[in-house]
Amino acid sequence: MRSALCALGAAAALVLLPAGHARAEGQEPDRDFTIQDPRITESSGLAASRAHPGIYWTHNDQDAPLIYGVDSRTGKTVATLTMAGVGTPRDMEGISVGPDGDIYVGDIGDNLDGSWDHVWIYRFPEPETLKDQTVKAKQYVVKYADGARNAEALMVHPKTGRVYIASKNEDGGGLYAGPERLSPSGTNVFRRVGKVPWVTDGAFSPDGDRLVLRGYFTAEEYAWKDGRLGDGGTAIGAPFQGQAESVTYTPDGLAFMFGSEGRNSRVVRVDRDAERPSDSPTARTPGAPKAPAAQNQGDGQGSATTGFLVLAGATVLVVGLKRLFRKG
């Protein structure tokens, strides 16, 4: 199934291949960069380091307990972390850094949409030194109050430290809140607190006032209020990528960093519109219809009309492929 989605995403990316990119690569942190490490072939999560400016943590969508620290100035891996004290991961899909400086990794994927009655979260302190090393991690058992499901987005609130998971479903998923504090013993029950679109990753803004959620073709930014979505979301000009799997904010909260799977995958910075507060005219109220995401014209991503047409056609193909594979 993953190979089919990758092929489809690659085709969409070719249709909308950028004419050029204005930003220089390898000079400033938190700008566009290409992941150089040949081991990182399925980057499925992205999180900005709190301790090391310009460094982004990522991991493969696979069963190896490895986390990579990539320098956004060069695209090179500067630290490989091997998690110890946890079992063999099944499907690591999300990563986030909490207010305590700990890195949280979500082993929360389930390609069979609910075949596992529990999933796991791993947690360890962000290392003080960037080097290859083994880190002692805690493992937390997670279940959903309304039954097992597939998920790819794990977000830790930067103020409260509460962990949230967004489930993934072509017809719309749910936003789930964990307990106030995760318990390493027993089961941590996550309860649904909102409805979300088709989500492959998400992240809180550094001030905790906003939440970005991305899918394969679009992204939305939401106001965050009292532990829930504060509005219906505002479309972001997300780039079209081969298999759009990850998103995070830059440490200053002024831009989004969008990543994708694939060897030598590109991480693209999209500056956040400073005129996009949650009460702006472009922000929708909950339940209002969504407009197609506007494209970042300055980055040569193509017109919104072309993007929407490709999105519509690709979505139909993705849904058809998913159903075909399920029948098989």
* pLDDT value at residue 62: 79
CATH 2.120.10.30 is right for the domain spanning 23-287 = yes
pLDDT of residue 59: 97
pLDDT tens for residues 8-61? 444 444 333 333 333 445 579 999 999 999 999 999 999 999 999 999 999 998
Cα–Cα nearest to 280, from 238, 232, 212, 228: 232
Q: Do residues 24 and 30 touch, judged by C-beta distance below 8 A?
A: no
- Which of 242, 244, 246 lies closest to 202, judged by CA? 246
Q: Which of the residues in the chain have pLDDT under 50?
A: 1-24, 277-328
pLDDT at res. 276: 52
Residue 81, Cβ neighbours under 10 Å: how many?
A: 24
What are the pLDDT digits (tens) for 148-161?
Answer: 999 999 999 999 99
Q: Where are the domains of the chain?
A: 23-287
CB hemisphere CA count around 14 (13 angstroms): 6
Question: What confidence score (pLDDT) does residue 288 get?
Answer: 39
Q: How far is CA 286 from CA 92, 167, 196, 283, in A?
A: 31, 18, 11, 10
